[in-house]
Each structure stands twice: as C-alpha cells, then as structure tokens.
Amino acid sequence: MKVAVVDINGKETGRTVALDKAVFGIEPNEHALYLDVKQYLAHQRQGTHKAKERAEIVGSTRKIKKQKGTGTARAGSIKNPLFRGGGRVFGPRVRSYNQKVNKNVKRLARKSAFSLKVQQKNITVVEDFQFDTPKTKSFQAALGALGIAGKKSLWVLGETNKNVFLSGRNLPATEVLTNDELNTYKIMNAQHLVLAESAVAAIEANLSK
C-alpha cells in the first residue's frame, strides 16, 4: 500500500512510502478499540472523590430525644443521614479506576485505529520538516496548505522537535506528538492524521513485534 509523500507546503515530492499492510491495512477490530479507549479514559480519572459517612462525622453520640411519645420517628444520633449535617449513605470513596488491557489487545487496537484512518482517507504523510523558530503562523500556513485547517488534527513526529511542538501548542484543534507517545484514543479522536516520514518506520517497527 503506497501513499504519496508531500512537503509541508502540500506539494508532492514525487516520492511514495509503502505502508505495511500488517499495521495500516488490517480489518479493524471494534472491540479492541473499545477496550483500549475505555482504559485510557478510565486512567484519566483521579479517583480522589470522598464523602463522609455516618461513622466519620464529628458530633455527639447521645440519644437526641426519647424513644417514645414524641409523635415522630425514633432517632438515636445527630449523625443520622436523614438529618442535615449527617453522614451520607453509600457516598463515594477514594478508589482507583485503572483497568488492565493485554499488550496484544492494545497493539491490535492501535493497528485498527491506523487502518480506519487509511480506509477513511484521513491520513497524510509529510516529509520530515523543521521550523527555525517557534511560530504559530507557520503551523497555520502548513494546515492550510494540507487542506486541514479547522479540522482536529494529530501530527506524529519521528523525534522530538521543540520548535514544531511550540508552534502548534496554541492551536486548540491541533496536537503534536512523537511516535512513542501515541495511543488509540488520540488517533481515534483526531479527524485527520499527519505522519512525518520518519515516524512511519518507527510506528511499523513498534507495532509489528
């Protein structure tokens, strides 16, 4: 499967890159995608929520009124959940939302995500580029040249490039990552995927294990 390589100005370079069918051309597995995305979103939750229950409320333990003869329901503690200021019944407790997904399933999910982008023709391969200085206007010009201005795009570089990262940081619909920072959620969340030429080989090497 060959894809044309374009430069940062959207012009064809005359070269093509062969995408490995074992990574970019498989039948997408929707269940693997679901499991991996669910795990990522679950891991974003801190799990630090906490409400005080009856035993944790500070207050007197004396019986607040006599058992009978009041005409109302019996009550034994001011910390009763029925009273204002009382403990909460079955309130949230501190917990971990971490979930386990096997490595092979995560690898299959990322392959499925890449394959979906190829099927939808929402993937572009650009030759490796650099910016001399961090400049948002330069990144916006690249988005316009590639025809993805206004779309949620994910740029994947082969190695860390500070100027490119800083240039795209202020654009709310754009994210710049290196190939080792990729995950299924970010691939699926982007409308268009832009891969640097050097990142393609690194992705294939990582996912073909």
What are the boundaries of each domain within the chain? 2-44+100-207, 46-96
Confidence of residue 2 (pLDDT cuts 50, 70, 90): confident
pLDDT at 209 over 80: no
The pLDDT value given to residue 27? 95
Q: pTM for the full model?
A: 0.84
* Choices 3.40.1370.10, 3.40.50.300, 3.30.365.10, 3.30.450.20: CATH for 2-44+100-207: 3.40.1370.10
Q: Express each pLDDT in 144-176 by its tens digit.
A: 999 998 899 999 998 889 999 999 999 999 999
3-class secondary-structure state, position 192 = strand
CA distances from 170 to 77, 128, 136, 161, 174 (A): 56, 21, 7, 16, 8
The pLDDT value given to residue 194? 95
The pLDDT value given to residue 47? 94
Q: Express each pLDDT in 116-143 by its tens digit.
A: 999 999 999 999 998 989 999 999 999 9
* DSSP percent split of the chain into helix, strand, coil, nearest 5: 35, 15, 50
- Helix axes 197-207 and 103-119, enclosed angle (nearest 10): 140
The pLDDT value given to residue 10? 86
pLDDT at 57 over 90: yes
